[in-house]
Amino acid sequence: MRNNKPKNIKQIIGFIFLMNLFTSINLQAQNSIETDFEADLKTLLESKPTPYKSIHDLFSKYNRDSLKIKQFVEASKMASYIEGESYALNALGVLYRNISLYQQSISTHKIAEALAQKAKNLELQVINLNNIGVAYRRIDLVKPALDFHTKALEIAQSIKNPSDALKYNIAVSHNSMGNIYLILEQYDLANKQFQESLIIEKASDNKLGLAINYQNIGYAFEAQNELDEALKNYNLSLDYNNQIDSDLGRVICFNSIGQVYIKQKKLGEAKTIIEQALEKALIIGDQYYIALSYINLGWVKKELRLFKNAETNLKQGLHVAKSFSLQSSVVDASKHLSDLYSIKGNHKLALQYYKSSIEIKKTINNDRNLRYVNDVIIQYENEAKNNQIEALANENELVKSKLELNEKMLWGAFFALIIIIAIIIALYRNRQLQQEKQILTLEQDMLRSQMNPHFIFNSLNSIKLYFINNEKENAVYYLNKFSKLIRKILVASSEKEISLEDELDTMKLYMNIENIRFSNEIDFKINVDDAINTANTKVPSLMLQPFLENALWHGLSSKKENDKKITLNVFKTLDDFVTISIEDNGIGREQSQKINKDKLLKRKSVGIAITKARLANFSKSFTNDYKIDIEDLYDVNRIATGTKVIVNIPVA
């Protein structure tokens, strides 16, 4: 005992010395970091750079430290450095999202985006819009997610020479659009968006972006049961995540690979890799992937018939998912628990969890949600194409103007008299050409408004549902109606005017097709005065469709009651006019305008304007001009009961 005592004292003294040394080193390192932070913060506040890259290069090393980010926010606010405050709030919003505080993340990004707008900094605005969309997608709110991603993409693509930050965010937006197509189960279209994103990510050698896109491509293949291709892309994603040493990326890939292994019945390998995913997810603290890992672990244990452990893991995943409003994860956990209890013979619990999963899934992927997503995507693609056409037309007009100017100057230099004669002829001819061009443009615009991809896509989708539901007679019936409508539209587009009889027949077909999407609940009637010979009465072709479309989508689509009516009356009150009235019992113009105003993305409608211009050209052949009146209908209590459009068309 006496021999060991000095030795023990020496060990204690040595341990105390080492502890003091480590503490001193740690304090020095911490003081050094604080000194660096203060210096960097001072540099930012003094120089106040506005490009995102300049701020990011100096501050990005502190983006995982919430205290330093909050210091940056307050310091920027006091120094009136709007870009710095917006950047710091964006970084804080990302931190909130990564620890599953999604509502805080969304509100923080919205404040940052408002500051970016105030500073007119498009880079920060686009970045925050995309981050708001990502947060909404995490909690399965598809509509606002799509709105914010689409708005970000529109702003970014409007800039001729985008910065690297904007190029990266264009890739992010394409990736998000791809994820929306995955929800719609349009896997080819989804892959097209991911490939667009990959081109940008490869050009900038952004390994994180490449990892994300290969992961999403793998998911698309997995959804189509092409498991080998899915596994190939998941492993590519994992390789890039390993290169950038991303634990979060590994968690995502481990879970995806584990799911494929389960489907391939490689249950031992699946269990091992999912356990690794759960271990890393718990360290990271991302509740979304913690829930996913628990659910996948419960799934594989269910397949291994380890029922008790499977039940525990699935309930853990369900608890986390419910706590953080992760609706898709709640659906998956409930579905697996239903299967588990069914295997165990507890059919009451199995039915309870099955019903729960179905109800929640309906709220995520209801028909209106998917239709909205589809409409906005098609609207965005159409507007992008129209903008390109408009830009080319403007360029063509500019070249044409320059050529005409050069020609006039050349003639002016040689023969003044010839110039005067040429100008008179040119002006006369130009006026004729302009009139012909205007008429042709109106006819083309009219055809485009009738044949737009949005209408065709949704009509065919509606008919497709009859085939899917094995309602072959309905499918064939409406397919015949659709083909007749397309043929009539194509025939009418080649003629400036058609008989009123043909116009009314075409409108019947149009309403038949559109009524499919309203579950045939719209009562559409046409009443024609016996005194009118519709076969001999001429009208501009397809002139009534925009009014019927307005009645459908602005008047009746938002009406909750099933009593939906549109009545088309044709009569004569004056000898020189045929009067057509279109009356609906919808929500009225005032309520419709309020609903449209609240939408982030406005749907642009030019159908009525085109019709008015065509009626103006049509009326030039008559003594009298056309007239359109719109009446708001009210009941005795001044509550809106619909809208009535009255069109007076001159006749010979």
Catalogue all structural domains in the chain, each as residue range(s) with its CATH number: 471-650 (3.30.565.10)
| Contact (Cβ atoms closer than 8 angstroms) between residue 176 and residue 145 | yes
Residue entry with tokens 């001819």: 429
Region class of 642: left (phi > 0), else alpha (psi between -120 and 50), else beta: left
Write the CA distances from 525 to 507, 528, 530, 546, 570, integer angstroms.
Answer: 11, 10, 16, 17, 11
25-36 residue pLDDT tens: 444 544 555 678
Q: Which amino acid is at 93?
A: G
Strand residues in 529-626 grouped as ranges (E):
538-540, 564-571, 577-584
* Integer Cα distance of 212 and 218 in angstroms: 10
Q: Which residues neighbour 69 within 8 Å (Cβ) at sequence distance 6 or greater?
A: 62, 63, 88, 91, 92, 95
Residue entry with tokens 């659910």: 295
Q: What is the largest CA-CA distance in the chain?
A: 130
Give pTM, 2 decimals. 0.47
187-238 residue pLDDT tens: 888 888 888 888 888 888 889 889 989 999 999 999 899 999 999 999 999 9
Which pLDDT belongs to residue 226?
Answer: 94
Structure tokens at 337: 């628990």
* Integer Cα distance of 179 and 181 in angstroms: 5
Residue entry with tokens 């997995």: 222
What letter would DSSP give residue 369? H
* Range scoring the smallest mean pLDDT among 8-12, 129-133, 227-231, 541-545: 8-12
What letter would DSSP give residue 577? E
Residue entry with tokens 């950047």: 87
For residues 335-340, give the mean pLDDT.
92
For residues 635-651, give the mean pLDDT.
91
Map residue 466 onto helix, strand or coil. helix
| Contact (Cβ atoms closer than 8 angstroms) between residue 511 and residue 478 | no
The number of beta carbons lying within 10 Å of the beta carbon of residue 8 is 9
* Integer Cα distance of 238 and 215 in angstroms: 8
| Contact (Cβ atoms closer than 8 angstroms) between residue 237 and residue 214 | yes
For residues 310-322, give the mean pLDDT.
93
Confidence category of residue 7, pLDDT binned at 50, 70, 90: very low
Map residue 266 onto helix, strand or coil. coil
For residues 249-273, give the mean pLDDT.
94
* Integer Cα distance of 556 and 534 in angstroms: 28
